[in-house]
Amino acid sequence: MAEKESNGVRVCVTGGAGFIGSWLVRKLLEKGYTVHATLRNTGDEAKAGLLRRLVPGAAERLRLFQADLFDAATFAPAIAGCQFVFLVATPFGLDSAGSQYKSTAEAVVDAVHAILRQCEESRTVKRVIHTASVAAASPLLEEEVPASGVGYRDFIDESCWTSLNVDYPLRSAHFDKYILSKLQSEQELLSYNNGESPAFEVVTLPLGLVAGDTVLGRAPETVESAVAPVSRSEPYFGLLRILQQLLGSLPLVHVDDVCDALVFCMERRPSVAGRFLCAAAYPTIHDVVAHYASKFPHLDILKETTEAVATVRPARDRLGELGFKYKYGMEEILDSSVACAARLGSLDASKLGLQKG
């Protein structure tokens, strides 16, 4: 969509102050869109001020709304008048007393129902685009493989749905809760396309591990995970191990490519709906470690000690078939993640041989 065509077009970004949401808000403002961004607390000046300063001169095209996924009705004012809605917000745990929900998954599904209803009632929304997770697209086989007890489909694709009935090494109850919420919310959203007379289209993008850079003042957890072999952080390295066991590889994608893909799905004409995996590379942890060891031979890189799992690649690139192109490959994603972490103080730039800033 040319910039002149974006003038006057209103889009809603839920979770506008988050890692992906803030990058997306900036990109949309730069392209000339009017953006309705939701935050859990618009009175949080650190977050609200960051969004207002993202694009000089664009403040008049940015409206901030207070909304919370645990009270989905609060999204209605932000959605009103918008043609496109990006569901980027991620719910926090149900730690607060008095929650009406038994689990995060239950809360998210209820929020999905409410937001879809609000989109229908707006009578302006044409497409809803959701940032899903590749963690909900595991190619693990349900039947056991005699040699290892775990097996994978030959390829990962959009037909893969993670089964919580399958055990795998390093499985954790905490990560299962995350998977369940992502799994159920994505399936609920996609089911809207199969309704009797849907008022708009739904697109979901199951994202790989999102890394690369950020406009936030701290390194996001997924960036911290991407640089874990360099930082020697065992907890963050543990996330890489879990993902590899779950997925048979370590899908990676740069946050800028993610937001380009989201905008691509919004601007696609005349129609786009359904599920599209979004990852530029599918390396193993061994591939990631090898890259860092070559890049920083003077450092003691944290290495993977377990045997390599079978490498599962995508069967096809559905986004690519529509015309989308990734700008960042594995090496660029990892190198920019290191530069980001060093800039924000998560890595010591002097030890890396990088200039901080």
Block residue for tokens 């970004």? 13
Q: Is the pLDDT of residue 191 over 70?
A: yes
Within a domain: 267: yes
Give residue 107's pLDDT band: very low, low, confident or very high (50, 70, 90): confident
Which residue of the set 182, 325, 327, 356 is catalytic? Answer: 182
Kindly report the CATH number assigned to the domain that includes residue 127.
Answer: 3.40.50.720
Structure tokens given for 156: 């990962």
pLDDT 10s digits, 194-207: 999 999 999 999 99
- Max Cα separation, the chain? 62
Q: Which amino acid is at 286?
A: H
Q: Which amino acid is at 141?
A: L
Structure tokens given for 290: 């090898």
Give residue 94's pLDDT band: very low, low, confident or very high (50, 70, 90): very low
Half-sphere exposure (Cβ direction) of 333: Cα atoms closer than 13 Å: 30
Q: CB within 8 A of 148, min separation 6: which ones?
A: none
Cα separation, 110 vs 118, in Å, equals 12
Q: Which amino acid is at 186?
A: E
Domains: count for the chain: 1
Average pLDDT over residues 141-153: 74
Cα separation, 342 vs 352, in Å, equals 8
| Containing structural domain, residue 110 | 1-211+252-280+314-327
pLDDT 10s digits, 226-240: 999 999 999 999 999
Give residue 337's pLDDT band: very low, low, confident or very high (50, 70, 90): very high
Q: Is the pLDDT of residue 96 over 50?
A: no
Block residue for tokens 């800028």? 256
Block residue for tokens 């999905």? 112
Within a domain: 295: no
Mean pLDDT taken over the chain: 92
pLDDT 10s digits, 228-273: 999 999 999 999 999 999 999 999 999 999 999 999 999 999 899 9
pTM, to two decimals: 0.94
Within a domain: 90: yes
Within a domain: 244: no
Q: Is the pLDDT of residue 143 over 60?
A: yes
Within a domain: 87: yes
Average pLDDT over residues 109-115: 92
Within a domain: 168: yes
Within a domain: 27: yes
* Catalytic residue check, 177: no
Structure tokens given for 218: 């701290």
Cα separation, 97 vs 272, in Å, equals 41
Q: Is the pLDDT of residue 355 over 70?
A: no
Q: Which amino acid is at 206?
A: P
What are the angstrom distances between the C-alpha of 51 and each of 1, 28, 34, 190, 268? 23, 12, 13, 30, 26
Which residues belong to the annotated binding site?
A: 40, 47, 68-69, 88-90, 178, 182, 207-210, 222
Query: Which of 141-145, 149-153, 251-255, 299-303 has the least mean pLDDT?
Result: 141-145
Within a domain: 78: yes
Neighbours of 179 (CB within 10 A): 19
Q: Is 12 exposed, middle or buried (0-12, 13-18, 19+ CB in 10 A)?
A: buried
Which residues belong to the annotated binding site for NADP(+)?
A: 40, 47, 68-69, 88-90, 178, 182, 207-210, 222
